[in-house]
Structures are given as structure tokens and as C-alpha cells.
Amino acid sequence: MANAALRNVKVLPNSANMEEARHRVFEFFRTACRLLPSVMEIYNLYDVVSVSELRSSVASQIRNNIHVTDPKVIDMLLFKGMEELKNVVDHSKQRHHIIGQYVVGRQVQDSATKDPGTSTFLKNFYNTNYF
């Protein structure tokens, strides 16, 4: 089922403008969200993460590149995203790869950006170091 849905989706070589590239990004996100239940089934992720958490992980991966305004770069990122999605659906990755990249990796990134450098030890170290 997942392979049939993925076969119908193709990233065309070039977007004519930003509006077309934006539309393709939304289409890619919809496709990825449609395939998430089958990914949960393939990798048996029900005990680790929910579909909504995976969906938010995919959305955050897309939002990481929100500053890109060149349609050619967006097309290249879409190609990479489709390749990653195909690898996941074709079971080219193992379960711990999926958990590390999209479940635990997201939590580590979130905690790393919250409050960097509040440790008094690190503050004292940076102040007394000979830089």
C-alpha cells in the first residue's frame, strides 16, 4: 500500500516560481503524513511514538528550511525529502535509525536550544580561559 502511494508521487525537476515550489512542499507534506501510519506499522513504533508526534517531527524538519527562498534549492530539498521518505517506506533503514532521527533526535534538539550556558561551571570556565 505504501509503495503504491509513493510511486504516484514524483518531484518534478524545476519549479517555475516560489508559489509552485510552495505548493510542492505542501504536497510532499501531505504525502508524508499519509504514509506515516504504514511507517508506524513497518517499524512497529506504536510503543515509542504516536503518529501525531511523527507528523510534528516531519513538520519541524520542513520548518527548519523556511528561510530558503530560491525555488531551485527548494526543489533540491524536496528531492532529498522524497529520497528519505522512499528509504523509510522501502525499509532501507532499521528501527533504531528511525527512532534516533525522528523521535529521540527531535527531543535532543529541543532541549539543546532551550537554555544554553546556564551552568555556573561553564560560565566560570569561559571567563577564566585564555581566549
Query: pLDDT per residue over 21-59, tens digit each?
Result: 999 999 999 999 999 999 999 999 999 999 999 999 999
2-11, 60-69, 105-114: the lowest-pLDDT one: 105-114
Residue 79 has pLDDT above 60, yes or no: yes
What secondary structure does DSSP assign to 26-54, as a single string?
HHHHHHHHHHHHHHHHHHT-TTT--HHHH
Range with the lowest mean pLDDT among 50-54, 96-100, 116-120?
A: 116-120
pTM for the complete prediction? 0.71
- What does the pLDDT look like over 11-20, one tens digit per residue? 566 888 999 9
